[in-house]
Chains A and B, each alone.
Chain A
Amino acid sequence: MVKNAPRSLTLRERMNRPNVAGYVFILPFIVGLLVFTVIPFFTSLYLAFTEYNVLSPAKWVGLDNFRKMFYEDKLFWTSFWVTFKFALIQVPVKLTVSLLVALVLSRGTKLTSYYRAAFYIPSLMGSSVAIALLWKQLFAFNGVINQALGMLGLPSNQRWLGDPKTALGVLISLGVWQFGSSMLIFLAAIKNIPASFHEAAIVDGAGPVRRFFSITLPMITPILFFNLINQVIGSFQAFNSSYLITGGKPLNTTLYYGVHLYNRAFNHYEMGYGSAMAWFMLLVIAAFTALIFRSSSAWVYYESEGR
């Protein structure tokens, strides 16, 4: 036998190479990713150029779906602007609220852990059907909110969910109510700021507001960036609250893009059109994400990069 001559590996030796065990363990996840995400992803790209009513095979129609979307579907632009408005209002409000609450909780009193849990629970349950129905009853014409207002002597006959001016606000409030998860992340980031910074600033005579804007805020910008991107993507994909609470009414003021897509795809049996709408939204979200990434070099401060 010649030593050190190259020969092919046996199966056992192949299986025992360093990374193979790792791959085998993540194989279930990879299979799931392929079957439930990657393959449908590319199938929908194909379907976006077809007419597909689910009961019969898809028929190629080229760019017809996109033409219909942009030029013929009145509700398409309506739903797009509603979703945009929803994201525009909800994201800053939610981020501000979570940051403020995180600041307060960062003081660390005895009850902090209870408050943390209490604020976090809504974000766990918030997108469930039960909470949506609860919200619907709360803001109903004779629901808890109106009755409480009545007891306080304030006007109590507002049609929260029936008035085109307030319906979207109700849904935004449901989103903002779920600020808990971003708050926890902010809390962790604030706690990570070295105390020495604040001590040095206090020695120099800086008040709490000045310290917030000059120390806390810059130090948490990476987390702010992370939360901002997450919230923006999530807001554009919103569906549950509108579908369960208002169904897009009144007068389409709560017609999310996702709900309109669902209507066209599942109620009108136009899966091709729905796929086209989905891909357009993908591009829009990608554009916004890219925009935020681009701007990040101007306002996000990474300690490690020592800018």
Chain B
Amino acid sequence: MKRFLTLLLAALLICALAMPMVSAEEKTQLTILWWGSQTRHDLTVAMIEKFEEKYPEIDLVMDYSDWGGYWTKLAAQVAGGQTPDIFQMDYAYLAQYASNSVLAPLDEYMASGALDVSNVSENIIKTGQVKGVTYAISTGTNAPVMLYRRDVLNDLGIEIPMTPTMTEYKEISKKVAEATGLRSTFITDCSADILRFRLRNYGLNLYNDDASALGFDDPQYIVDMWQDALDAQHEGWGMIPGEETAATAFDSMVNDSWSRYQNSNELAAYRDATGLDISMVQIPNLDDATASATYLKPSMFWCVAQQSEKKDAAIKFLNFFTNDPDCFDIIGVERAIPISSEMRTHVSGNLDEVGQQVAAFIEYASQPGNASPLMNPDPTVHSQVAELLGQYSEQVRYEMIDDLLGTAQQFIEEANAILAAAQAAQ
């Protein structure tokens, strides 16, 4: 009796294990991974369900994460041979993932029409290319912006121009700080991104064309940035290091500061998370700027894994996202302005007030003179260079350094050494 029971249970177990394998034959299962805020998660889940309705033979297993943990998660999955079939990619990491053969080239699918890019401009397709091969398709265009508390400015009766100069920004910051105590974290940021904006104002870039060295050699650019931050701290309208109280980026706009640098497609998320009337203008340009700091960039990309065995099905999803009106009825412009001109037209009819504001902003930034060309993708060691600058900037902000020029020079030498070593290792 006991023997019989054992055999019966074993048989049942084997059947239970075999069942999923049989039923899975009928549907193609794809894994998909993205990052975002809760707003984006809700919209994306709804959009994927719509996709599964239209393509019932494809089943998407969804996974998502916040920005901070996304890259660790993705790297771990790649290392474990479990690269998601479809995943989001950022401009900053595109070169690294492409050069490590993680991404599948999309050129053949675009040529055959499986991924229809007939309504997408060549420039936008180029942004997803590394060394001439297209590895990623942009989800939308966005631009860096200065988010600000419109409610605070309205209460104080202050107007901020769409393209502020640094002087105008400083004046407004001083008034806001005097009246409300909200300070500026933009002026004290001193990170690699902020340095990049300032360099772009002079037509320069953070890195040179092949990322073998920095794109500038005059330490004065860095010194100016540090001096602006220190002046702001001394005059009381710049955030003093250690006095930030915010636990998250959204919080910082509630309690700490009245303005913040972000990407244009984040406007909706910030408004939802804080419940405040937040709006946006362009990044302030330095007074003696010769070019705009703003650039138009792909907000993010969709990629297909090179090791995926279901690339055709994955391409169907990419095609759906790029060209299907149903997708944009749900997503709107949350992942930024659609790259297909057809979709842009379709979407502009349905946008809510915030979406229209974002679309109008991108239109404005697309006009000649309001933006300058996009920089090349950052090299892999950008994180090290950025951390190095962050270390020095922190010391400057804590007023532990007297010789700003010497320190800036030191940073340039060390950063160039890092870039040269990375270049040599390739």
Contact = CB atoms under 8 A, between A and B. Distances in A.
A136 B247 contact: yes
A54 B76 contact: yes
Interface string B378-393: 0011011001000100
Contact of A55 (B72, B79, B242, B391): B79
A269 B96 contact: yes
Please classify the interface of chain A as helix (H, G, I), strand (E, B), loop, or mixed, using the class held by over half of its residues: loop
B380 A269 contact: yes
Interface string A127-138: 000000100110
A142 interface: yes
B242 A141 contact: yes
B75 interface: yes
B218 to A, nearest CB: 25
A56 interface: yes
Contact of B75 (A164, A251, A269): A269
A142 B75 CA distance: 38
B400 A267 contact: no
B241 A250 contact: yes
Contacts of B391: 75, 252
A250 B100 contact: no
Interface in B78-104: 78-79, 96-97, 100-102
Most chain B beta carbons < 10 A, residue from A54, A140, A143, A263: A54
A198 interface: no
A143 B387 contact: no
A251 B398 contact: yes
A161 interface: yes
A44 interface: no
Nearest to A161: B242
Interface in A257-284: 263, 266-269
A222 interface: no
B247 A250 contact: no
A227 interface: no
A116 interface: no
B78 A251 contact: no
Interface in B237-256: 240-245, 247
Given A54-B75, A164-B398, A250-B398, A133 B245 contact: no
A251 B395 contact: yes
B245 A55 contact: no
A133 B75 contact: no
A54 B245 CA distance: 35
B326 interface: no
A147 to B, nearest CB: 12
B394 interface: yes
A191 interface: no
A134 to B, nearest CB: 10
A249 interface: yes
Interface in A52-107: 53-56, 75
Interface in B353-398: 380-381, 383-384, 387, 391, 394-395, 398
Contact of B100 (A53, A133, A249, A267): A53
Nearest to A142: B245
Given A137-B247, A251-B394, A251-B398, A56 B100 contact: yes
Contacts of A249: 394
A199 interface: no
A54 B78 contact: yes
Contacts of B78: 54-55
Contacts of B240: 159, 162
Nearest to B80: A54
A246 to B, nearest CB: 10
Given A136-B247, A266-B75, A269-B75, A250 B242 contact: yes
Across chains A and B, which 10 residue pairs bring their CB atoms closest together, nearest first?
Answer: A162-B242, A55-B100, A159-B242, A140-B245, A54-B79, A54-B75, A56-B100, A141-B243, A266-B72, A268-B383
Given A53-B380, A164-B398, A252-B391, 10 more contacts: A54-B78, A136-B247, A137-B247, A141-B242, A141-B243, A250-B242, A251-B395, A267-B387, A269-B380, A269-B383
